[in-house]
Structure 1
Amino acid sequence: MNNLQWNTPQQLRSLLCEVVSWDSRTHTEGERQFPLKLKQKLLENDYFLKHPDYLSLHEADAGRSLVTALYKHPNATDTIVLISHFDTVQTEEYGDLEHLAFHPEQLTKELFNRSKDLKQEARVDLESGNYLFGRGTMDMKMGLVLHMSMIEKAIAQNWPINLILVTVPDEEVNSSGMRAAVKVLVSLRNQFSISYKLFLNGEPSFTQKPGDENYYIYSGTIGKIMPAALFYGKETHVGEPLAGITANYIASFLTQSMEWNSVFCESDRGESTPLPVSLQQKDLKLQYSTQTPYRAVALYNVFLMKRTAQDIMNLFEQVALEAAKKCNEAYKTICAREQIQPIGEVRVMRYQELLSYAEKKLGKNQVEKILNEVLTNDEWDEREKSLRAADHLLIRCNELAPAIILLFAPPYYPAVNSSDDPLIEETVQLVTDSASKEFGMQVNQIHYFNGLCDLSYVNYQDESDGWTTFEQNTPTWGAVYNIPFQEMSELQTPVLNIGPFGKDAHQSTERVSIESAFVQTPMLIERVIKSLFASKVAK
């Protein structure tokens, strides 16, 4: 035990502060450099010098890499995959303390001088001395640190099981890191002839409401999908408003129908998805003029539990058809009142229908050229490219207008749940009993992690082949955005999330519980890992 460097509470605290100090905000140079620093840190263990092929960097995207570190017991095939992400959100909200955001010890000390500026709950936690503040302390570099500790201990004590540490970039935006990691995990499984028994994520235990001090573990994660729409009307001068129809008018009917619509709400095991809301709505005019806006777009956020992309598109289409019907009726009433001939009825089309129509009209080569211009525009992100792709096609097929084009925009996080898996049921009971016995602490199980999580990309189950609907209606698919559905479906292994208790992720008061991070959670994770090989050792 003396040769362990990441074992005691103080050692873990020092390691956390070092890892947090490696600034790795999403889409920064720090995020690109982080894997190199982590690899050097792991190479301090002679095991990886002796087995260099066990420690690797793998390309994700945009110059970013994910890291895998394998502990391989010579006689074991059973393998636990330890999953984390190392990117963090930005830090502007720290104000004049931003330079300390990645230095937990200094930041926590400085906050004492400004405690009166903190909200009450954060001030109480600060003054208790039980929390360490800083960007990434909670979300989620402590999870990575705990996994590093487990790898080190497995090596030192020759645990008769295999562990793979997987830590990825870009969880906070598009999860490109985890989507790339899926193929890596399939490759590692085949290369080393191992068998995955558990995907163990290290996201922190999030509060369910302000003041919540309960500790949670998660046997699944909620899903998220983003239905989107392009609205195309008919332009006119504001002096002749009824010579056209504004896209904003059309959009208002669908957005009102989507916002808080309970038809998209799912419930399972006493838990429910939040209601859908609009995340963005705008017209596509580039500057002010007295021409009416005839093209507009909207993004809608929908959470998932059991439904697939196909299910959501079918529901979205039903809602859109009803919204278009209401729009047409209201528009015709206005035209009759003003004694104006309507310009037409608003139709509803899926993107795949628009694409097929455009290819027949323009030819596949021309459509490919149009889409390539959009998808290679570096000024637009994945969502904007999705909307603009539909827009550029419909501009050239405007005889279809007025219309609502339905599509998907990235990201897509499938829901995953392992609550009924016997291994998970046993493991949850083990964690509950251990926490109660060792710390007098109550552990609460949540079936769906209430924040987005990289576990969405393993253990994918969709017997209806519903992912094809996503592929066919996502304009960026295959060029800018991909999800390895086939490989995900090969990773049929239960999931569990056990991480440290913390508060205020993505806020300037982000903090992690010292007792939970450095004492309680390490013991619980070690107990879980050992339970998976204890019975075999006993035999």
Structure 2
Amino acid sequence: MLWQTEQQLEDLLCEVVSWDSRTGTEGEIQFAEKIKGKLLELEYFKERPTLIQFHDAGNERNAVTALYKQENIKKTIVLISHFDTVHTEEFGALGDLAFQPRELTKKFKEMLDSLPEDVQSDVTSGDYLFGRGTMDMKMGLVLHLHLLEQAIYEKWSINLLLVTVPDEEVNSSGMLTAVKGLVDIRERYDLNYTLFLNSEPSFSMQPQDAQYYIYSGTIGKIMPSALFYGRETHAGEPLQGINAHYMASFLTKKMEYNQAFSEEVYGERTPLPLCLKTYDLKADYSTQTSNHVAALYNVFLMKRNAKETMTSFREVATKAMEECAEEYRRVLAREENSEEHFNIDVWEYEELLNYARGKLGKEKTEEIIKETVALPNLDQREISMKVCDQIMAHCQELAPACILFFAPPYYPAINSSDDPLVQEKILLTKQLLQDHFNVKAEQVHYFNGISDLSYVNYDKDDKGWESYQNNTPVWDHLYTIPFDEMQKLQAPVLNIGPFGKDAHKLTERLHKQSAFVHTPFVLQKVVQTMFDGVIAGVGKE
């Protein structure tokens, strides 16, 4: 067997990490073929190459699925991972070693004094492998290859479907593509998806947290955003218009750390919202004030859906613009003895779009959107605000106004904490780790690192996603979420992965015993109890 011993697993990880697959690079494109090559080293797939499939994720990238199928068996565990990594600018002069775990770990031993104290300790212990992707999350993919090979060799009486995707770190286009593939594969092979099993690493809950966690859900994330469209004026005549930066400051102040967007479920709380980025859409420097500014706000979710988020966002924005208008009226009264009536309207994108269609006609409005979407060298968030801006440019009678919209990406929150199967597997995992390795594991209800589990097991009765569709300017042009297909993938989610530290940092590292001994053993037992009965005191299902 190829991928079963500690040494074999470490060798495979180092090989897979060496395949530089930073999001948006040529390496990410090439990775699918490379992982297919590894799968074809198994005799099972050599004889059944059609069970390996590519799923087009755009920009020449592919998600990969590989199905181990037992005859006359429907029960299937879906093994989910991503193979892209974040970039490596922080490595500086060590950039050539970022994807060479053994060499990088050795190099860190030679430069201990330049590393933080806790990192020095981990380097000298010999317990960790350093490198981009070791923790997040190529070890998760390696663990799934390990399970797949074991299932084939031992002829496990259950189906395993490996799913590994690109672009988890930016827009999750890999998983959004894979969702449709999952529905097709289930129907083609008459499968019953019983569990979606991810192996994202155990993430720390606070600095230098050494606790090992397993997860029964994944936190959600959404980006309610706003275009502030004021009235331009010369800086020498500041009260002849209204500066969009001034407008934006009122909403940003109200959104930042706003507890109205905080949720608490199972004793866990979402981080507070904040502004991720602001944009001045004025093209160049001049003494003209900017009449169009945009801001993106980050909101984490547990129970709240898109519709509820937009409702709360509108309430906050309306109050913010009322306060902005009131303050501006006071300035006018003080500086110009003016009692001019002044207000700032708040519109959702859907409302603005309907207004524009009524004024310009549907055909002209769609032409504006298509021309804007085609603008080069802009990402999905920039295009989103540009669409709002260009429509407002044709509807300036509405100014000053605040236009609310959603910018990609959107990760719905998913949770299976109350599912009996998940509760049983969490108990089993805790017992195995404690009894065999003296490792204490704790359950976390929402994985705090954002994961592709957001796109399975979506509430089949929820319609709140329609608000997202209607208020996302690039919907069906550059970005879509297959909500209908997601609602068809009804099975609980569980995340069991290796322990590591400092994801997305220069000192990203993986705990070797956790990765090559503890987690493979646990995952094997968790899967085996799905089909062959009693292990570690857990009864038959």
The offset of 1:358, in angstroms, is 0.5
Out of 171, 180, 183, the residue aligned to residue 180 of structure 2 is 183
Q: Which amino acid aligns with 1:185?
A: L
How many residue pairs match? The answer is: 536
* CA–CA distance in structure 2, aligned partners of residues 263 and 210 of structure 1: 26
Q: Which amino acid aligns with 1:140?
A: M
What SS does the corresponding residue of 1:60 show, helix, strand or coil?
strand
Correspondence for 2:503: 505
Query: How do 1:78-477 and structure 2 match up within 5 A?
Result: 78-338=75-335, 339-340=337-338, 342=340, 344-461=342-459, 463-477=461-475
Contact 1:382 1:409 in 2 (8 A): yes
Correspondence for 1:527: 525
| Deviation string, structure 1 residues 310-336 (Cα, Å, up to 9, x no partner) | 000000000011111111111111111
Contact 2:460 2:488 in 1 (8 A): no
* CA–CA distance in structure 2, aligned partners of residues 469 and 376 of structure 1: 24
The offset of 1:140, in angstroms, is 0.2
What is the Cα-based RMSD across aligned positions, in Å? 1.2
* CA–CA distance in structure 1, aligned partners of residues 91 and 155 of structure 2: 44
| Deviation string, structure 1 residues 261-308 (Cα, Å, up to 9, x no partner) | 000000000100000000112321111111111111000000000000
* CA–CA distance in structure 1, aligned partners of residues 522 and 2 of structure 2: 19
Correspondence for 1:481: 479
Correspondence for 2:46: 49
| Deviation string, structure 1 residues 380-435 (Cα, Å, up to 9, x no partner) | 10000100100000011000000000000000000000000000000000001111
TM-score by length of 1: 0.98
The offset of 1:341, in angstroms, is 5.5
* CA–CA distance in structure 1, aligned partners of residues 386 and 406 of structure 2: 12
The offset of 1:378, in angstroms, is 2.5
Contact 2:81 2:137 in 1 (8 A): yes
Contact 1:25 1:89 in 2 (8 A): yes
Query: How do 1:24-63 and structure 2 match up within 5 A?
Result: 24-63=21-60
Contact 2:329 2:342 in 1 (8 A): no
Q: Which amino acid aligns with 1:291?
A: Q
Contact 1:80 1:200 in 2 (8 A): yes
What SS does the corresponding residue of 2:487 show, helix, strand or coil?
helix
Note if 1:20 corresponds to 2:49. Answer: no
* CA–CA distance in structure 2, aligned partners of residues 254 and 213 of structure 1: 38
* CA–CA distance in structure 2, aligned partners of residues 385 and 82 of structure 1: 34
Q: Which amino acid aligns with 1:151?
A: L
The offset of 1:240, in angstroms, is 1.0
| Deviation string, structure 1 residues 182-228 (Cα, Å, up to 9, x no partner) | 00000000000010000000100011112211100000000000000
Q: Which amino acid aligns with 2:382?
A: E
> Could you tell me the percent identity over the aligned residues?
55
Contact 1:205 1:502 in 2 (8 A): yes
Contact 1:242 1:340 in 2 (8 A): no
Contact 1:344 1:402 in 2 (8 A): no
Gaps of 5+ in 1: none
Runs of 4+ in 1 over 4 A off after TM superposition: 536-539
What SS does the corresponding residue of 2:104 show, helix, strand or coil?
helix
What SS does the corresponding residue of 1:121 show, helix, strand or coil?
helix
* CA–CA distance in structure 1, aligned partners of residues 482 and 38 of structure 2: 30
Cα distance change on mapping 1:538 and 1:455 into 2, 3 Å? closer
* CA–CA distance in structure 2, aligned partners of residues 290 and 538 of structure 1: 75
Contact 1:227 1:408 in 2 (8 A): yes
What SS does the corresponding residue of 1:279 show, helix, strand or coil?
strand
What SS does the corresponding residue of 1:533 show, helix, strand or coil?
coil
The offset of 1:342, in angstroms, is 3.8
* CA–CA distance in structure 2, aligned partners of residues 390 and 130 of structure 1: 52
Instruction: Please say which of residues 437-446 and 455-464 is displaced more in the overlay.
Output: 455-464
* CA–CA distance in structure 2, aligned partners of residues 462 and 230 of structure 1: 32
Cα distance change on mapping 1:341 and 1:284 into 2, 3 Å? farther
| Deviation string, structure 1 residues 418-469 (Cα, Å, up to 9, x no partner) | 0000000000000011111111111110000011100000000163400110
Q: Which amino acid aligns with 1:125?
A: D
